[in-house]
Structure 1
């Protein structure tokens, strides 16, 4: 019969495992909501940086100019990715896990974007200083999220790139249905099991973001900021495995 400490430890492990499984889906909800809100309110995609490049090129060819928010988004995204990698290297050198610091950084960036939009009121002039900075903070937050999924949640499907996830899921589903190699079928089933919640999460986040924006305008950036805080709190319950969290 298990003693009280064994039961408590077992319960803690189950809670940690559940939080670890739910975190990628929550991150995809954050990305989906932030992407829709930033596009509708600030004129740029915060998570879908490739979309910013396409829109920027189209604007330059069509009008001869490109919006400042779009021009800044790509180099900023690359810069933040690089700085995040340096930060993780520094944390690892000190024996500190990277997941929680990166989630905290993401929350601070999304929270900052929300506060700036709250102060500015609900106007959509993406050239205004506060909204311009808010848009870039949202882009930076998604750069941090992209990095943390690869560095701190290794093996997790991307939480912001749905084209890749959807393609992977359909290919894996096809392998499960049509494959002949039991090992490859099992691997495809395992990947699909972890991919579909991320896809659903992003779609749900995009829908929530659109509804919240229709109701509250740029104040709806409080949604991804609040969810980022929830993700940070959830990470506190996740036990480090291998690499420290």
Structure 2
């Protein structure tokens, strides 16, 4: 049976977690953390909740990225499977968030300690995903922010339509295919999160646990990504 490539799973997860955080935690972006500057301004101007979470999301994100990088370097020196360790760390964060949601959710008050706590756990989990992608899947499209990807898609389409693309069109078409798949997966993740939230405001936090579990068995999805990920020697590639 065909398995979804790892970048597609990560993109779906990126859209899902960011949407769940936004709708369940008073407008908190857990993946696109710089977007919290906008929602923080809205919280201050309109008196909506979650200001502390939005204020601290970026510092927490940065600290986790720093720690993940230091951990990865230490694991590489010890010849340990970096990708597997990072996936386990992300899985643990999502398990904590899902369990916490069952005990303390739903999070109607964005200013509550419970909403802040689960928000920072999700921000940390997505920081791990961002670091994972930048180090081990750097030749694949981003999985948590689609603005640059969409821009490149439109530029490539314009080059193809205008006849100004390079003589060898195969790399351009392959890039278009990968980037389009990433955007579609991200959008489907957003839609799935909205549906899951409507079905259950607490169980919606359990879906990322399943997505990360599937990631352990996902093929990397391209020769370029496989070569980038090779030093980690952990996730199955095809």
In the superposition, the TM-score normalised over structure 1's length comes to: 0.83
Cα shift readout 1:18-60 (whole Å, capped 9, x = no counterpart)? 75x7110111111111111111111201111121111113333
Q: What is the distance in 1 between the residues matched to 2:98 and 2:89?
A: 14
8 Å Cα contact 2:40/2:51 also seen in 1: yes
The correspondence of residues 167-186 of structure 1 with structure 2, limited to 5 A, is: 167-180=151-164, 182-183=166-167, 185-186=169-170
Q: Which runs of 5+ in 2 are unaligned?
A: 234-238
Greater helix fraction, Structure 1 or Structure 2: 1
Structure 1 consecutive aligned stretches of length 4 or more whose deviation exceeds 6 Å: none
8 Å Cα contact 1:31/1:224 also seen in 2: no
Shift of the alpha carbon at 1:181? 5.0
Q: Which residue of 2 aligns with 1:35?
A: 18
Q: What is the distance in 1 between the residues matched to 2:34 and 2:147?
A: 11
Q: What is the distance in 2 between the residues matched to 1:49 and 1:184?
A: 38
Shift of the alpha carbon at 1:87? 1.3
Q: Which residue of 2 aligns with 1:3?
A: none
Q: What is the distance in 2 between the residues matched to 1:183 and 1:111?
A: 49
When Rg is computed on C-alpha atoms for both structures, the one with the higher figure is 1
Q: What is the distance in 2 between the residues matched to 1:58 and 1:96?
A: 44
Q: Which of 73, 94, 108 in structure 2 is aligned with 1:124?
A: 108
Mark the CA change 1:63 to 1:173 in structure 2 (over 3 Å): closer, same or farther: same
8 Å Cα contact 1:100/1:235 also seen in 2: no
Cα shift readout 1:179-225 (whole Å, capped 9, x = no counterpart)? 44544633322211211111000000000000000110132011122
Q: CA RMSD in A?
A: 2.7
Q: Which of 203, 210, 224 in structure 2 is aligned with 1:226?
A: 210
Q: Which of 175, 180, 188 in structure 2 is aligned with 1:196?
A: 180
Shift of the alpha carbon at 1:231? 1.1
1:23 aligns with 2:6: yes
Mark the CA change 1:60 to 1:127 in structure 2 (over 3 Å): closer, same or farther: closer
Mark the CA change 1:66 to 1:231 in structure 2 (over 3 Å): closer, same or farther: closer
8 Å Cα contact 1:122/1:219 also seen in 2: no
1:134 aligns with 2:134: no
Paired residues, what number? 228
8 Å Cα contact 2:50/2:110 also seen in 1: no
In the superposition, the TM-score normalised over structure 2's length comes to: 0.86
Q: Which runs of 5+ in 1 are unaligned?
A: 1-14
Shift of the alpha carbon at 1:153? 1.5
